[in-house]
Amino acid sequence: MLSFTLNGLKFRNPLILASGILDESGETMLKVIEHGAGGVVTKSIGIQEREGYENPVVYELPYGLLNAIGLANPGIENYGEEIRKAKEGGVPVIGSIFGGNAEEFVYLARKMEEYGADAVELNLSCPHARGYGMEIGTDEALVEEIVREVKRNIKIPVWAKITPNTDVVRIAKAAESADSLVLINTVKAMAIDIEAKMPVLSNKFGGLSGPCIKPIGVRAVYEVYREVEKPIIGVGGITTGKDAIEYLMAGASALQIGTAVYLRGVEVFFHIANEMVAWMKKHGYSHFTELVGIAQVR
Ligand SMILES: Cc1cc2nc3c(=O)[nH]c(=O)nc-3n(C[C@H](O)[C@H](O)[C@H](O)COP(=O)(O)O)c2cc1C
């Protein structure tokens, strides 16, 4: 009911670990795979090691998480062993990368391919890193060039992860060379400590994730599905089987799970898979792909 193929890659289920959660090391990715994930996306990796911002970098809200980690990562030269370790789990491992221009993205993508990653995910969407992520991911010409150049230089599939903090359809169209689109990254947001009279996060602004952004993600998937003929991987607030089904009905062909790992523990992949299957059986569906895009009203 849940196995499928996307861009030539075989997945046992459509529930893929999203970038940035328990995925900086091969060991933690293996743990997530043991708990039922259909695939894993690594933490976004850049050219050089980065420490990220000073604390506080994560702030828990009643309805989600606000984070500005600052793309902390060990750097691409130190990352080969983590990919090799994660691959022992036997499911697709997708290498997430971030750069400041097409040349950097191409370098990083080639390295990920050399390390054995099954696909690369281009982070064109982090809302809190100066010179990276959303700053370049809102520029159509740059997005077009980066995706085209990466695609030209590697053989593995290329996924473009798009920010919701702009017109998603405009950027999705610019990423025309991508094999799949990933929608959405976090929503740019902030919180203020009224006693301290200052922003909570050291970076002031951060990215909002979790249940509160689900309607934004569902809307983004729905809008892009109508305009772009490419598989969409839906992400943003998926916490239960019903959330997963909502994204499928909007037009997603696969899903990613991030903040729900904090909310329901690493077993969340088993829980969501079981809840999806129960819902499909009750409603007479034999495979999840029958649900893709069925809520589209023309
Ligand atoms: C703590 C944290 C770190 C994240 N780091 C990354 C990252 O390095 N690269 C990236 O593309 N997205 C990153 N994200 C965004 C997630 O991959 C995902 O797009 C977003 O959180 C929405 O999904 P969710 O509501 O299921 O968490 C991060 C999210 C969180 C909460």
Q: How large a percentage of the chain has pLDDT more than 70? A: 100
Q: What is the tens place of the pLDDT at every residue in 75-96? A: 999 999 999 999 999 999 999 9
Say if 196 falls within a structural domain: no
Say if 183 falls within a structural domain: yes
DSSP 123-136: E---TT-TTSTHHH
The rounded Å distance from CA 34 to ligand 1 centre is: 21
- Ligand 1 atom nearest to 71, measured from its CA: 8
Residue range(s) defining the domain that contains residue 42 = 4-51+71-188+208-291
Identify whether 56 is preceded by a cis peptide bond (ω within 30 of 0): yes
Residue 133's pLDDT is 87
Ligand 1 pocket mutation pick from 60, 185, 219 by most atoms within 8 angstroms of CB: 185
Average pLDDT over residues 173-202: 97
The dihedral through the CA atoms of 82, 83, 85, 89 has a sign that is: positive
- Strand segments, DSSP code E, in 38-132 are 39-41, 58-61, 64-67, 93-97, 119-123
Say if 197 falls within a structural domain: no
Average pLDDT over residues 116-122: 98
The rounded Å distance from CA 188 to ligand 1 centre is: 12
- Ligand 1 atom nearest to 184, measured from its CA: 19
Which CATH number do you get for residue 30?
3.20.20.70
6, 108, 117, 126: the catalytic one is 126
Ligand 1, CB cutoff 6 Å, lining residues: 18-21, 43-44, 58, 65, 67, 69, 96, 123, 126, 161, 185-186, 209-210, 213, 235-238, 257-260
Say if 114 falls within a structural domain: yes
Residue 129's pLDDT is 80
Overall number of domains in the chain? 1
Say if 142 falls within a structural domain: yes
Say if 201 falls within a structural domain: no
* 127 pLDDT above the threshold of 90: no
Considering just the CA atoms, what is the radius of gyration of the chain in Å? 18
Could you give the CA distance from residue 73 to residue 182 in angstroms, rounded to a whole number? 21
Protein residue whose Cα sits closest to atom 26 of ligand 1: 258
pTM of this structure: 0.97
Q: What is the tens place of the pLDDT at every residue in 212-263? A: 999 999 999 999 999 999 999 999 999 999 999 999 999 999 999 999 999 9
Say if 39 falls within a structural domain: yes
Say if 38 falls within a structural domain: yes
